[in-house]
Amino acid sequence: MSDATTPRTDGHAARRRGTRAQVIEAAVRLVAERGFSATSVDDIALAAGVAKGSVYYNFTSKSEILEAALAEGSERLQTTINEARGDLRGREALSAVVGALLSSMQANPDFAKLMAAEVFRVEREWQETIGALRAVTIATFADVVGEISPGEDASLVGAATFGAVLVAGLEWLLFQPDRSVEDVRASVLRLTAGL
């Protein structure tokens, strides 16, 4: 973000952070529904309830909005997962991380849909950001799987575990929303009980 050329009050800064967050939230929602190319900056401004000029005050392009959305979402997800894992190891860590990922998906289903739609697209401008999200998430599960079954080559098992949480979570949020997060966590842990 470029420096403002005029002095700004705290009120300005707060509004600017607010606008930025509103734009990101609207972009995630629209792109999750329609896809990136079908979403225009006009659509995003309208959905965010801000002027198009405010969007361009915060971002240089539509790609930069998505890049920021994925970067911030990834960072938040990573923090949530790390905090949930804490000092836990093995099976307890798996249970905590699965629960944290599902709760994050419930708190922001649009980001979850976006993640599923983009996580294996390798030709996007934000490829590095989504690649980091994919790598970190899979690596966390691979690490925990390695704690449960030491010595195992866990990278593909880690990917499979991430996929199990992602797809069970979306199935839940979109088609069985009356189930509790505990139900879904139990289903994933049921699948992985033999690790």
Interface residues toward a copy of itself, by CB under 8 A? 32-38, 113, 116-123, 138, 149, 152, 155-157, 159-168, 170-172, 174, 176, 179, 183-184, 187-188, 190-195
The closest alpha carbon to 141, from 70, 75, 84, 71, belongs to 84
> Closer to a copy of itself at the Cβ: 8 or 121?
121
- Cβ 95 to a copy of itself, closest distance in Å? 14
The closest alpha carbon to 29, from 6, 8, 49, 7, belongs to 49
> Closer to a copy of itself at the Cβ: 35 or 86?
35
- Cβ 127 to a copy of itself, closest distance in Å? 11
The closest alpha carbon to 163, from 137, 186, 126, 184, belongs to 137
Give all strands (DSSP E) within the chain, no chain letters: none
CA distance 14 to 164: 39
- Cβ 78 to a copy of itself, closest distance in Å? 18
Matching residue, tokens 């839940």: 172
CA distance 139 to 113: 21
CA distance 110 to 165: 16
Residue 143 tokens, joined: 């690490």
Region of 8 please: left (phi>0), alpha (psi -120 to 50) or beta: beta
- Cβ 69 to a copy of itself, closest distance in Å? 16
- Cβ 112 to a copy of itself, closest distance in Å? 8
- Cβ 42 to a copy of itself, closest distance in Å? 15
Q: How many other β-carbons are positioned within 10 Å of the β-carbon of residue 145?
A: 24
